[in-house]
Structure 1
Amino acid sequence: MLLEVIALTEEDAMTASRFGADRIELVSVIEEGGLTPDASVISQVAAVCTIPMHIMIRPHSRSFQYSEADLADMIRSIEEIRAMQLPKLGAFVLGVLNADQTVDEEQLKALLEAAGDVPVTFHRAFDEVRDQAEALDTLMRYPQVRTVLTSGGVPNVLHATEQIAKLVRQVQAKGSALEILAGSGLTVEAVSEFVEATPVRAVHFGSGVRENGSSTAPIDSARLSDLRAILNQR
């Protein structure tokens, strides 16, 4: 069972690396759902992180529809991060939608080209699409998109076990290697029942492994260790 943990700081990255995460999703401004981190933070985290880093590429939180200027900003961020030659860069995390809430394939193609040989996670923009089955079929046409992070289209993934199961089965039916990454609202206490109810093999944690359940607090090493032990039994 793969465990991805949100990291905001160098300290987060060290804790995640030491206490059981398989990879981190590095973001800034978690209060707005996560934005592109500063280059200085990326460098600091890269210096201590011993597990893969998935880095958010999101210029603002107003929507998942982006102007040409926004797209240029995203491409520039990707190019600057690639130029850093980070040894643990695992993926870029991004998502782009049209006004009709479908995947914006033209912008996606431009971002994938900028990413080069670096894989991509399509983030929770997926939870705002008009039809998740349709959007998943679209994303499976792009082998570079390795992961879809989703709460099943509702605020809390614990209320979407059936939808998560449907998405996993859809991927399996197509013989795709794409990974459904379930996240948003998962807790250490509820995760065992959740994964038992779905065939999902990858989970994403934020506030669920932080001190006092606060999205901006440091990662709680004891909670993360407990979570790892639970997942190791799955």
Structure 2
Amino acid sequence: MPALEFAVQDVAGALGARRVGADRVELCAALGVTGGLTPSAGTIGAVVATRIPVHALIRCRAGGFRYLDADEIAVMNADARAAVSAGAAGLVVGALTADRRVDSAVLRRVLAGIAVSDIEITFHRAIDQVGDRAAALDTLVELGVTRVLTSGGAVRCADGVNELAGMVDHAAGRIQIMAGGGVTLDDLPALRRAGVDAVHLSARRLVADDGGPGGGGTCGHDQFDLEVASAVATRWRAVSAVR
């Protein structure tokens, strides 16, 4: 069944996503400036309490997805365990080797001690740096991963539609292909025609808010845009109904 996921950073975002009928949220922190990091334990608990399924991002730092530091991996494992204990319905993870393949060993260490069969696992857009995404999908299926979030290797999903269609064909129902990366309202019909049955976007706008010299200057903060989210939800339901 077609699914809609929003990336949110707070309770307000989760409530907005639930209001427009989203199926779940990916919960993260510092989305705009880093692409997303692990949210705080307090945030996870508060968003879980909104009663929309919460998939917590497990990413300890910005930058690339190669993790060689045992302490980094241990922190992500602790964060993953804490998120599940707090009621997260899923985890969003990713790790790559030096030659940009899925790092199965690191993923197993990050997920150690977690009953993976009881939750959903999403492999995030680290896959867009992988050269052989078909092989990566096979590896992720073997690891029991539920879905992969991808733009088809492009900056925006609109430019990766052909690759997304190929990934859907290769997945053959074994793993869900969820389109994410610059998704707009006008992209939805093409994504659906490509066979994609899940989309992910942030639907956020920047609110000007001067933090001063010690608070990040004038960069402001993100806010969930209910109007945009509602329009996307309505259009996604419409294009999904006619396919």
Write out the 4+ residue segments of structure 1 that deviate beyond 6 Å after TM superposition. 212-215
Task: Note the C-alpha offset of 1:56.
Answer: 0.3
Equivalent residue, structure 2, for 1:133: 134
Map 1:1-234 onto structure 2 (within 5 A).
Answer: 1-30=2-31, 31-48=33-50, 50-66=51-67, 67-84=69-86, 86=87, 89-116=88-115, 117-143=118-144, 145-172=145-172, 176=174, 178-196=175-193, 198-206=194-202, 209-211=203-205, 216-233=221-238, 234=240
When residues 15 and 46 of structure 1 are mapped into structure 2, their CA distance, relative to the original with a 3 A threshold, is same
Task: Note the C-alpha offset of 1:213.
Answer: 11
Counterpart amino acid of residue 230 in structure 1: R
The answer for unaligned runs of 5 or more in structure 1 is none
Counterpart amino acid of residue 147 in structure 2: T
Question: Which digits, 9 at most, give the CA deviation of each residue in 1:57-106, with x for residues without a partner?
Answer: 0001121011211111111111222333x1xx221000011111111111
Name the CA distance, whole Å, in 2 between partners of 1:216 and 1:102.
34
Counterpart amino acid of residue 191 in structure 1: L
**Contact 2:37-2:61 at 8 Å conserved across structures:** yes
TM-score (norm 1): 0.89
**Contact 1:58-1:74 at 8 Å conserved across structures:** yes
Task: Note the C-alpha offset of 1:228.
Answer: 1.4
How many residue pairs were aligned?
Answer: 223
The answer for unaligned runs of 5 or more in structure 2 is 209-219
**What's the C-alpha RMSD, in Å, of the aligned pairs?**
1.9
**Contact 1:24-1:53 at 8 Å conserved across structures:** yes
Task: Note the C-alpha offset of 1:189.
Answer: 2.9
**Contact 2:206-2:223 at 8 Å conserved across structures:** no
Name the CA distance, whole Å, in 2 between partners of 1:6 and 1:213.
17
Name the CA distance, whole Å, in 2 between partners of 1:56 and 1:72.
15
